[in-house]
């Protein structure tokens, strides 16, 4: 199914917009404040241009940038409840739009590293979902692994929304967790440079197909003096095909109509390729109801906290020292 990215919402579905935000150069708290001002203004303008838009999505690191020399300093961290980040909530309320925003979140435990967090505010400015990145991009990112699991919330147009952040999307297990919790529209925000462009698009499609859910993904765009960020907002149908694909243009807004009830219907009606159901009901033709017992050693070991690869002892990089991080753990400054 294609999508013309209409300015109007569909009768039974939702219109979403993915903003390929220019990678921000952030060196001070004042830069962060100006950046949030810019995102709020752009949200207002986008809603005016697409009056039927239900949900607007901003990439990872769009609020605070990727200044690795300062990104865990108190000056650069935000709180969801703080007045600066709450400007996003007020913008959503004033413009009748749902919004997904990124922040590097101060850890309530001051002895531990911050979180890489995504937040969805509904069109009333209320907190609908808060997610902390489960799989920081090691060995580069210093963020504390998330402690909120893979939450799902009711969204517009019959959607059940869940969020992953950047490298999370490379793990099929995490996409399956979102679907298992009821998600039918899986959103991925990222701040990847071009090295993994192809893999990013591949996993967006495979996560959709393997779980019979829409995926909607957007990356930063542009050059920050070190890396180029590829943009390429992508919306995938629940059959794994691409509905809309952006380019590498900063500020490009990729829009698409999605119909969550169709994903729900496929999950209930399909026999062939009902992948997420068949996983837990193996061979139901031969065995009525299927075999429920888990056949996978890695799943059993992971559940027991005993996950170990056969080649694990030979892996060379197991900490962040290659990027100058200490190996002692706990909170550290940069």
DSSP for 3-52, written as a single string: ----SS--TTSEEEEEE-PBPP---SHHHHHHHHHHHHHHHHHHHHHSTT
> Which of 47, 60, 232, 236 is the catalytic position?
60
Active-site entry in 40, 92, 166, 183: 166
Measured CA to CA, the distance from residue 238 to residue 202 in angstroms comes to 14
- What's the length of the chain? 334
CA pair distance 127, 163, nearest whole angstrom: 14
User: How many C-beta atoms surround the C-beta of residue 275 within 10 A?
Assistant: 15
Nearest to 95 by CA among 62, 128, 50: 50
Longest dimension (CA), the chain: 65
Give the number of other CB atoms < 10 A from CB of residue 239.
Answer: 15
Catalogue the E-assigned strands of 141-294. Answer: 153-154, 160-165, 185-190, 214-219, 221-223, 228-230, 234-236, 242-245, 253-258
* Residue 133 annotated to the active site: yes
Angle formed at CA 111 by CA 109 and CA 113, multiple of 5 degrees: 80
Please identify which of the residues 133, 177, 183, 257 carries the catalytic annotation: 133
**Cα distances (angstroms) measured from residue 221 to each of 41, 58, 194, 216, 248:** 18, 11, 10, 16, 6
Q: Give the span between the Cα atoms of 209 and 2, in whole angstroms.
A: 16
Verify whether residue 60 is a known catalytic residue: yes
Give the residues across from 85 on adjacent strands. Answer: none
Question: Terminal CA-to-CA distance of the chain, rounded, Å?
Answer: 48
Q: How far apart are CA 161 and CA 131, in angstroms?
A: 11
Q: How far, in whole angstroms, is CA 43 from its chain's centroid?
A: 18
> Which residue numbers are catalytic?
60, 133, 166
């Amino acid at each position: 199914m294609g999508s013309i990215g209409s300015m109007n919402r569909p009768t039974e579905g939702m219109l979403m917009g993915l903003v390929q935000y220019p990678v921000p150069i952030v060196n001070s708290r004042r830069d962060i404040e100006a950046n949030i001002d810019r995102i709020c203004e752009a949200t207002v303008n986008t809603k005016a241009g697409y009056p039927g838009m239900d949900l607007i999505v901003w990439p990872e690191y769009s609020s605070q940038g990727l200044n690795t020399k300062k990104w865990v300093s108190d000056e650069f961290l935000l709180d969801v409840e703080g007045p600066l980040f709450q400007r996003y909530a007020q913008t959503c309320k004033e413009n009748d739009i749902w919004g997904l925003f990124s922040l590097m979140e101060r850890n309530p435990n001051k002895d531990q590293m911050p979180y890489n967090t995504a937040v969805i505010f509904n069109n009333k400015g209320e907190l609908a979902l808060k997610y902390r990145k489960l799989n920081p991009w090691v060995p580069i990112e210093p963020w504390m692994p998330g402690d909120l699991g893979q939450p799902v919330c009711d969204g517009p147009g019959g959607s059940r929304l869940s969020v992953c952040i950047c490298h999370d999307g490379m793990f099929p297990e995490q996409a399956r967790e979102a679907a298992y919790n009821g998600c039918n529209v899986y959103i991925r925000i990222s701040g990847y440079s071009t090295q993994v462009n192809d893999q990013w698009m591949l996993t967006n499609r495979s996560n959709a197909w393997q779980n019979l859910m829409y995926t909607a993904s957007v990356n930063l765009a542009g050059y920050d003096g070190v890396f180029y960020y590829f943009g390429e907002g992508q919306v995938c149908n629940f059959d794994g095909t691409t509905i809309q694909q952006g380019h590498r243009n900063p500020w490009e807004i990729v829009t698409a109509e999605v119909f969550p009830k169709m994903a729900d219907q496929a999950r209930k009606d399909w026999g062939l390729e009902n992948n997420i159901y068949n996983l837990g009901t193996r061979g139901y033709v031969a065995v009525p109801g299927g075999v429920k017992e888990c056949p996978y050693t890695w799943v059993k070991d992971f559940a027991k906290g005993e996950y170990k690869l056969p080649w694990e002892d030979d892996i060379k990089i197991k900490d962040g020292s290659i990027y100058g991080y200490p190996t002692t753990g706990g909170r550290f400054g940069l």
